[in-house]
Every structure is written in C-alpha cells, then in structure tokens.
Homo-oligomer: A and B are copies of this chain.
C-alpha cells in the first residue's frame, strides 16, 4: 500500500548552516542592542563605526569586504550614519571610490557607546568563558572567509604573476 505520499524526509535540515548561524546571531545581537539602546546606535551601526574608525580613510567597497557586507547594504547604512552626522563620505576620487571617515560627532558617539558595549560584551564573554570565546570567535572569522571564498573563488593570488603581459 502506498505510504500516503511518502512523508517529506527532513533528516538533517536542523543542521542548516544558514539557520544555525542566524539563530545565534539574532539571540546575541539582542544582548548588545539592548545594552546600546541608550547610546542611540545599534550593534550593526557600532560595527560600522568601529570599522571606519580603524581603517579610515576607507573606500565603501573595501569596508564591505572587511565587514563582509554587500556594498548595497553599506550604501543604505551609511546614508543613515551620514544623516546623523557620524560619518563623512568623500566625493568620488581615484578609481571612482568614495572614502569614509568618522566625524568628531561620530567619534564622540562611539566614545559614549563604548562603556555600554564593553559591559554587554564582558557579560557575554563572562557567561561563556573568555578563552572559549576567543577560540570560537577566531573560527567564526575563518568560516566567514571560507564561505565568502566558496561563492567568490578568490583570484589566484598564489599563482605567479605573469611576467610578460
């Protein structure tokens, strides 16, 4: 007898990488966002401001690579930060790039938010263990790049550059 349209075989679906990373990201992001609430910025904006502060002046595309965020996403996010006066976006220059820098207001906002971020972060790390988080974080960073390279095979930087044109 036909086993009633043979039920879906969902074996293994609970191991979906997308789902598992996203679920944890949602839960952890709430911790940081709750702590940052009074600072007026979210953890996502905090990450962008930090990224700019550390590498400025930096082109939009380059920052997108570093943060592993699509450039179109960054365009919208930067629009907000610019409107708030936290970052400055240069005009197109060499290579048609626009360079980002953090403004004094951006610096002070970042400075004001740092204590709240540190408090949330320390609570998080204290809960799961400092060494453990150090290792896991390294793995998360490595995996992000592994995933990026799976979609965008890196141009063979290892292959010897052609001497002759």
Contact = CB atoms under 8 A, between A and B. Distances in A.
Interface of A: 8-10, 12-34, 43-44, 46-47, 50, 53-54, 67-69, 107, 110-111, 114, 117-118, 121, 123-125, 127-128, 133-134, 136-137, 139-141, 143-148, 150-151
Would you call the interface of chain A mostly helix, strand, loop, or mixed? Answer: helix
11 contacts: A8-B114, A10-B53, A12-B118, A18-B43, A21-B21, A22-B25, A23-B141, A26-B144, A27-B147, A28-B143, A31-B147
A127 B114 contact: no
Contact of A17 (B10, B53, B107, B133): B133
Copy number in the complex reads 2
A24 B22 CA distance: 9
Residue in A8, A46, A69, A110 whose Cβ sees the most chain B Cβ within 10 Å: A8
Nearest to A34: B151
B68 A10 contact: no
Name which of A16, A139, A146 has the most chain B CB atoms within 10 A of its CB.
Answer: A16
A10 B150 CA distance: 31
Contacts of A34: 151
